[in-house]
Amino acid sequence: MGILSALGIPTNRFDLFLRSVEVSSYIPGRIRLHSKMLMGSPKVEKELLTYLRSYSELSEVETNISTGSILIKYTPQLLHTNEELTRAEEYIKAHAKNRT
């Protein structure tokens, strides 16, 4: 872990993304996020979908620009083959409003 990570400063694009959203719910295999930047912005939606869908470990990504909602579905065992996504899941789990 580098000094930036230790200080809670985003060190990569996914880290930065996570800190810009609200984690509404977390269940292993299903995450719902909300982004104010996504609301009413087809351009942000397109960029976000392209970025998240580039991770083969994520089985499904859905967005709604009316509500700013982002739904991510995945198989936990597959996700855990990617160290970056495993760290992201831990962050999401710790910051979720509703967890199971």
**What is the structure's pLDDT at 72?**
97
CATH number at residue 53: 3.30.70
Helix (H) or strand (E) holding 62: strand 58-64
The chain-wide mean pLDDT, for the chain, equals 86
Dihedral of the CA atoms 98, 1, 60, 34 (nearest 10)?
A: 40
**pLDDT digits over 20-68, tens only?**
889 999 999 999 999 998 999 999 999 999 999 999 999 999 999 999 9
- Answer yes or no: is 31 within a domain: yes
Report how many domains make up the chain.
1
Tell me the pTM.
0.82
Domain of residue 23 covers 11-99
- Answer yes or no: is 1 within a domain: no
DSSP 35: -
